[in-house]
């Protein structure tokens, strides 16, 4: 896969991450389906339920949680940086 700068057509570009806020990152890592699935199976174990029940419950909760946070928090944006002309541009400029 070769990517070109939309300004100077150079291939000397690099993907940089533009994260919006630290709190947002911490919140989304807490609410990942994998984390909640693990949490769910731990809870299920303490109630003598099969771990799969807790896993499913955690995944469903995680999906709900993610859809809620996605609406209220700004989306994580990826940017490319061109080493040739020093321009920054979002990934959709390449498509
Ligand atoms: Zn460029």
Segment 5-56, tens digit of pLDDT = 999 999 999 998 776 554 555 555 666 777 877 887 788 788 887 878 878 8
Q: Is the pLDDT of residue 86 over 80?
A: yes
pLDDT given for residue 8 in this prediction = 96
- Co-location of 86 and 46 in the same domain: no
Distance 6 CA to ligand 1 centre (A): 7
Contact between 37 and 46 under an 8 Å Cβ cutoff? The reply is no
Residue 76 token pair: 């994580």
> 10 vs 57, which has greater pLDDT?
10
Domain of 8 in residue numbering reads as: 1-19+76-95
Q: Do 46 and 71 share a domain, yes or no?
A: yes
pLDDT score of 30:
63
Closest to 13 (Cα-Cα) out of 66, 84, 90: 84
**What's the gap in Å between 45 CA and the centre of ligand 1?**
55
How much distance in Å is there from the Cα of 76 to the middle of ligand 1?
23
Whether residue 68 is found in the same domain as residue 81: no
Domain co-membership, 68 together with 84: no
Structural domains of the chain, count: 2
Q: How far is the CA of 73 from the centre of ligand 1 (A)?
A: 31
Distance 7 CA to ligand 1 centre (A): 5
């Amino acid at each position: 896969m070769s990517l070109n700068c939309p300004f100077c057509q150079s291939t000397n570009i690099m993907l940089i991450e533009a994260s919006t806020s630290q709190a947002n990152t911490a919140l989304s890592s807490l609410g990942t389906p994998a984390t909640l699935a693990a949490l769910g199976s731990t809870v299920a174990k303490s109630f003598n339920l099969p771990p799969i029940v807790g896993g499913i419950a955690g995944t469903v909760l995680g999906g709900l949680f993610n859809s809620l946070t996605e609406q209220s928090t700004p989306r994580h944006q990826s940017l490319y940086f061109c080493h040739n002309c020093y321009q920054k541009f979002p990934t959709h400029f390449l498509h």
